[in-house]
């Protein structure tokens, strides 16, 4: 029996999915928002799906998923040796394609994930794929940066991270009053740079980003389009920006990281420690299939 849980909307994959959706009804009950189940409670079914899959595309977010969340992105340390070794061993498996998909710029990701076996996709999956240049958008972002610096000068603990192709406005440490004021500033500036620039909401961050950088969901689908049709996608992520990937993979193995179970993912893990355990278990499941 074929094992892909991928729902593709185009061509022969559509037919495949229709067949699979009937066969696979016992794998996981139809998902309801907020009804994610703990991954390890369903491990026997998950392990069977993994070990019988033709190929696996493993997409991992970085902050809050592989690495514990830190107040400031600059405080996050590169991956520890244990986790790095697990990932390296996974990437050695011929039938596994590994990706780290992060909102961080590619340059930062390269320092934090210092090995080449996983493909790194920065800026929500935009960087690392061949894409057109964004000249007009860059000009608008420079303008927005100037306006943000002016508009946010009277708020405290809201700061702007310049990612070159995006501006991330971090408000994690700000008071509720300053968050309200900051939101108003961001929304007003957004109106002057729309529609070429849009707003992505992340974990205590507003991100002004070119609309053509359309987020992790479209990025994941673009990657999968180049892989064999029987590939089982696995996506692990912790924040709102990961929900767009969960949305486009209704029959993939989608895993939300964190206590909040209001997610489009089928499964959840509590923290990056459990993600590490999952990666070890995944290695075991792949080993079983050999
Ligand atoms: Mg994250």
Could you tell me the residue ranges of all domains in the chain? 11-130+214-288, 135-210
Return the pLDDT at 289. 66
- Ligand 1 centroid – CA 42 distance (Å): 23
Strand-pair category, 55-60 with 231-237: parallel
Q: Average pLDDT, stretch 84-90? A: 93
- 11-130+214-288: CATH architecture: 3-Layer(aba) Sandwich (3.40)
Is residue 252 predicted with pLDDT exceeding 50?
yes
Residue 123 structure tokens: 């800026």
State which H helix or E strand residue 245 sits in: helix 240-248
pLDDT category of residue 75 using cuts at 50, 70 and 90: confident
What is the DSSP code (8-state) at residue 253?
A: E
Does 50 or 25 have the greater pLDDT score?
A: 50
Strand-pair category, 167-170 with 205-210: antiparallel
Q: Which residues are catalytic?
A: 61
- Ligand 1 centroid – CA 66 distance (Å): 8
- Ligand 1 centroid – CA 212 distance (Å): 21
Q: According to DSSP H, which parts of 25-131 are helical?
A: 43-52, 81-92, 106-112
Query: 176-193 and 135-151 helices cross at what angle (nearest 10)?
Result: 150
Q: Average pLDDT, stretch 156-170? A: 95
Tell me the whole-structure pTM to 2 decimals. Answer: 0.84
- 35 Cβ contact partners less than 8 Å away, ≥ 6 residues apart: 261
Return the pLDDT at 76. 87
Query: CATH fold of 135-210, please?
Result: Alpha-Beta Plaits (3.30.70)
Alpha-carbon distance of 258 to 238, in angstroms, equals 6
């Amino acid at each position: 029996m074929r094992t892909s849980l991928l729902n593709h909307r185009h061509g022969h994959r559509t037919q495949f999915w229709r067949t699979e959706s009937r066969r696979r009804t016992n794998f996981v009950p139809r998902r309801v928002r907020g009804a994610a189940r703990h991954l390890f409670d369903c491990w026997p079914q998950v392990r069977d799906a993994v070990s019988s899959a033709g190929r696996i595309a493993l997409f991992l977010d970085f902050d809050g998923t592989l690495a514990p969340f830190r107040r400031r992105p600059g405080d996050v340390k590169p991956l520890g040796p244990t986790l790095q070794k697990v990932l390296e061993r996974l990437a050695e498996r011929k039938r596994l394609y590994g990706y780290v998909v992060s909102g961080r710029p590619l340059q930062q990701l390269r320092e934090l994930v210092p090995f080449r076996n996983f493909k790194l996709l920065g800026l929500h999956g935009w960087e690392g794929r061949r894409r057109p240049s964004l000249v007009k958008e860059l000009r608008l972002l420079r303008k927005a940066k100037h306006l943000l610096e002016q508009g946010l000068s009277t708020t405290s603990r809201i700061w702007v991270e310049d990612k070159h192709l995006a501006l991330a406005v971090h408000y994690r440490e700000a008071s509720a009053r300053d968050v309200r004021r900051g939101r108003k500033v961001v929304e007003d500036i957004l109106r002057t740079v729309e529609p070429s620039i849009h707003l992505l909401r992340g974990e205590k961050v507003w991100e002004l980003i070119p609309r053509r950088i359309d987020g992790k969901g479209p990025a994941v689908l673009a990657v999968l389009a180049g892989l064999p049709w029987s590939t089982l996608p696995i996506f692990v992520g912790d924040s709102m920006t990961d929900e767009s990937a969960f949305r486009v993979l209704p029959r993939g193995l989608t895993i939300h990281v964190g206590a909040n179970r209001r997610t489009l993912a089928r499964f959840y893990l509590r923290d990056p420690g459990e993600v590490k355990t999952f990666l070890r278990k995944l290695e075991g499941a792949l080993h079983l299939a050999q």
